Structure 1
């Protein structure tokens, strides 16, 4: 389970997500009068972390593992879209917003790691299919 490369990618992706709470981005989101601007991305981030962690332990069911990783990846894409929208609503990306940009970079890195995990799962599925053909 942990010996596989996709487990490493998924674990790294899930462990990067809480680092966003250390950036000023959640404070910027909470400052908005509409409460959902804070809770929606945070809930999607929690869903993504949970999905990626659960996917690590589904190594015996690669098709289900792939679907769970897809849910986590889509959640991360939604969080990234929220963060970019908030950056542009704050006045564009300038040198005064570098701290907030770090949150988007962390989310982007987590998305890339989840994508790498998804690709490794797909290659494992292809390997299993080719081995089954040889039997």
Structure 2
């Protein structure tokens, strides 16, 4: 299960999403006067944290795993949108927002690792299909 490279990338995505909770981007979202922004960011970030872990558990059914990783990627894009919205509302792209930019970077790397995990799952599906043709 965890020895497959896609499981490692899904675990990496989950860890990166979890580390955003300890970043300045999350603390700024909770300090926002519009409370729904911080709550929405926290809920979607929590779902984006737990969804890749659930996808790892689907390793026996690869087609189902690809579907759920795709849904997780959509959720990750929503989290990235929340993060970018919070980042831009802080004052845009300046040299004083490095801590917040690290949070955005972690969200982008989490999305990229999910994309790569999906690619590797599809490669496994093709490998199994080619081995079935040989038999």
Shorter-chain TM-score: what band?
over 0.9
Partner Cα distance (2:45, 2:133) in 1 = 40
| Residue 34 (structure 2) aligns with | 34
Question: Would you say the 8 A contact 1:41–1:78 is kept in 2?
Answer: no
Segments of 5+ residues of structure 2 without an aligned counterpart are none
Structure 2 residue 97 is the aligned partner of structure 1 residue 97: yes
Question: Would you say the 8 A contact 1:49–1:72 is kept in 2?
Answer: no
TM-score normalised by L of structure 1: 0.93
Partner Cα distance (1:73, 1:42) in 2 = 17
Range moving further from structure 2, 100-109 or 83-92: 83-92
| Residue 20 (structure 1) aligns with | 20
| Residue 6 (structure 1) aligns with | 6
Cα distance, 1:16 vs structure 2: 1.3
Segments of 5+ residues of structure 1 without an aligned counterpart are none
Q: CA RMSD in A?
A: 1.2
Matched length: 135
Could you give the per-residue CA deviations for residues 46-66 of structure 1, whole angstroms, max 9, x where no partner exists? Answer: 112211001112111011111
Question: SS of the residue aligned with 2:96?
Answer: helix
Question: Would you say the 8 A contact 2:55–2:65 is kept in 1?
Answer: yes
TM-score normalised by L of structure 2: 0.93
